[in-house]
Structure 1
């Protein structure tokens, strides 16, 4: 029963999909991160279906790309975008760690949040529009699953910047060994599926995702002393963006 409740909690938090609601207990949160990647699977599947439909009905690349970029927001409600913007504001404040953690809590949007989100959107639009190979598109769609696997692993493995907030609550309540084992297995299966589409491309894109995790570890420790819920949102977007950029690079400079 705890596993089922953990599934519903994961879906209710990380997506806008309506699920049964109930009172949360600590035992119900043990396996929440195990189901976090499946929101990415839904996003990736939806993007692939959308792109397939665009091919069938001859929808232009602009419309295909913009709506494809919006699908993650439709499904998650922009949950990770908020963390990305807060993290950008904090990092670009060039303040001490304590002040940066305060900025993460601030509900107001700063200039750097808007600037960096706009830059991220432009880069994503430009690179995503260049992913035309069906194999690379499938690899990118798998990336939404992989980014959340890696994010979940970081939540129960990396040092936490503070002892409050949603991430701390779930990380502290998690059955860490089970979560790490489950997410590691899911990551391996996802990478295997990516390599099945195209071994060299899948391996390179997966390696890029792992490198973003390494970068995230060192950058979060340097800037905040550890990870938080907001930095986790930053990582999901940053990892997915790097996956799309690397896939586009392969498509343009290797396959064409």
Structure 2
């Protein structure tokens, strides 16, 4: 039982990051489907690494440089998996007017003007928000660590929860995300919500107001899922990546807004 869960976890780690995994972990559609329960847990790892790099670099360099290197770390660890999805969604929904055209554009490996503009604005906004949070003199390192982890875990929960409520839009089985969309059980749902909400609940033990960040994150999740469903009749892997990136941004915005009342 434990070995199977480890295999499922490492399958998630292998699929969603560039972190080396044991040689006995191979690609399995069945395990990939079950790995949705650990997708928010991957956020713990990415958030921890981003914070560790930020904290270490900040001992030598200013906060703005530390934030940029921290962002580079997140992109390197995930292989720009979610950022690529965000760019594809910007291109697809920005340039396509029919379901098939949108899906074809998102499948194209080339990045268009909408994708480039979207990524520039995304990175600029993320950098500004993280810098604002990092320069808050009242925040303890442990709290900042929890915020980093919560941002990555909650945004991944918002993304993967779309799998539980909406249909996969592509008819082809060629997509890498297709096995994730096939089926799920209560284990996947409960695991995703546990790992997605645990860091936020930890923060709420000290500042209960932080729980209010759930509201805007899931409002945007609802609006994005509804928008995807309207235009393409469901979601794709790119849509999940875009939702994760938007959810992360919305979380940072929410935290800054909530601080005004703490």
How does the TM-score come out when normalised to structure 2? 0.87
Question: What corresponds to 2:63 in structure 1?
Answer: 61
Quick one: distance in 1 between partners of 2:247 and 2:230? 19
The Cα shift of 1:159 comes to 1.6
Q: Is the CA contact 1:89–1:103 (under 8 Å) kept in the aligned structure 2?
A: yes
Question: What corresponds to 2:213 in structure 1?
Answer: 205
Q: Is the counterpart of residue 47 in structure 1 residue 50 in structure 2?
A: yes
Q: Determine helix, strand or coil for the equivalent of 1:226.
A: coil
The alpha-carbon distance between structure 1 residues 175 and 94, as it changes in their structure 2 partners (threshold 3 A), is: closer
The alpha-carbon distance between structure 1 residues 49 and 29, as it changes in their structure 2 partners (threshold 3 A), is: closer
Question: What corresponds to 1:17 in structure 2?
Answer: 19
Question: What corresponds to 2:41 in structure 1?
Answer: 38
Quick one: distance in 1 between partners of 2:37 and 2:211? 23
The alpha-carbon distance between structure 1 residues 204 and 216, as it changes in their structure 2 partners (threshold 3 A), is: same
Match of 2:166 among 155, 158, 173: 158
C-alpha RMSD of the superposition: 2.1
Q: Is the CA contact 1:153–1:179 (under 8 Å) kept in the aligned structure 2?
A: no
Quick one: distance in 1 between partners of 2:27 and 2:48? 29
Q: Is the CA contact 2:37–2:190 (under 8 Å) kept in the aligned structure 1?
A: no
Q: Is the CA contact 1:47–1:68 (under 8 Å) kept in the aligned structure 2?
A: yes
Quick one: distance in 1 between partners of 2:149 and 2:30? 32
Quick one: distance in 2 between partners of 1:123 and 1:70? 15
Q: Is the CA contact 2:67–2:131 (under 8 Å) kept in the aligned structure 1?
A: yes
How many residues align? The count is: 251
Question: What corresponds to 1:5 in structure 2?
Answer: 7
Question: What corresponds to 1:227 in structure 2?
Answer: 235
Quick one: distance in 1 between partners of 2:224 and 2:203? 22
5+ unaligned residues in a row in structure 2: which ranges? none
Quick one: distance in 2 between partners of 1:176 and 1:151? 17
Q: Is the CA contact 1:3–1:31 (under 8 Å) kept in the aligned structure 2?
A: no
5+ unaligned residues in a row in structure 1: which ranges? none
